[in-house]
Chains A and B, each alone.
Chain A
């Protein structure tokens, strides 16, 4: 595997389900990000992790819970979601001071 991978690519869940999104980067980067992409809206940064430490939480509801066990893996745990949470969730990683972020293909989430 190369670059940034995300699983699953598609997820349908009910509002009472609990699921997790997984992101893995194979680039040796030290920072990872979760973004939400909804139709007709700019990408919304959700969380930033630097060296496994959360450095930004962009006022995300607590029904989204991130976890970063190491610099290569990032999870987004989901519970009690709402239909308006349906979106494409993108993971990204970066290294160093040039701030170039590499994106995964995303997980298309549908909440019924």
Chain B
């Protein structure tokens, strides 16, 4: 069975500081990996995704993530956070077959302090 672990429930960083959100997955084959962001009262917005190829993927809003197969990780990074990045971040893993379920982590809530 596939699973996703986001070990950090809540992270606080200062505006302008760098950010890394951790994600570990368990999946029996080549995974499709996603990072979504959810602002309060909103749905989920896709930040980036990894299917194959270059293990460092670039997303929207200056985010990037690196797929490390040996560590079963897909950590999200941003070199300098902005106050508008405060939100909840979800990592998800899916199958190579289309239209099948994504398994989500429990999320990491990001707080930005001035």
Interface membership of chain B positions 16-54, coded 1 if the CB is closer than 8 angstroms to chain A and 0 otherwise: 000000000000000010101000011111100101000
> Total interface residues on A, using CB and 8 Å?
31
A94 at the interface (CB under 8 A from B): yes
CA distance A93 to B68 in the complex (A): 28
Within the complex, which residue of B43, B46, B96, B102 is in contact with A97, where a contact is CB–CB below 8 Å? B96
B99 at the interface (CB under 8 A from A): yes
Q: B: which residues have CB within 8 A of A?
A: 4, 32, 34, 36, 41-46, 49, 51, 90, 94-107
B34 near A50 with CB under 8 A, answer no
Q: Which of A12-20, A41-49, A59-67, A76-84 contacts B (4 or more CB under 8 A)?
A: A41-49
**Given A41-B106, A43-B104, A106 contacting B42 (CB threshold 8 A):** yes
A43 near B98 with CB under 8 A, answer no
Task: Say how far B65's CB is from chain A's closest CB, in angstroms.
Answer: 15
Residues of chain B within 8 A (CB-CB) of A56 are 101
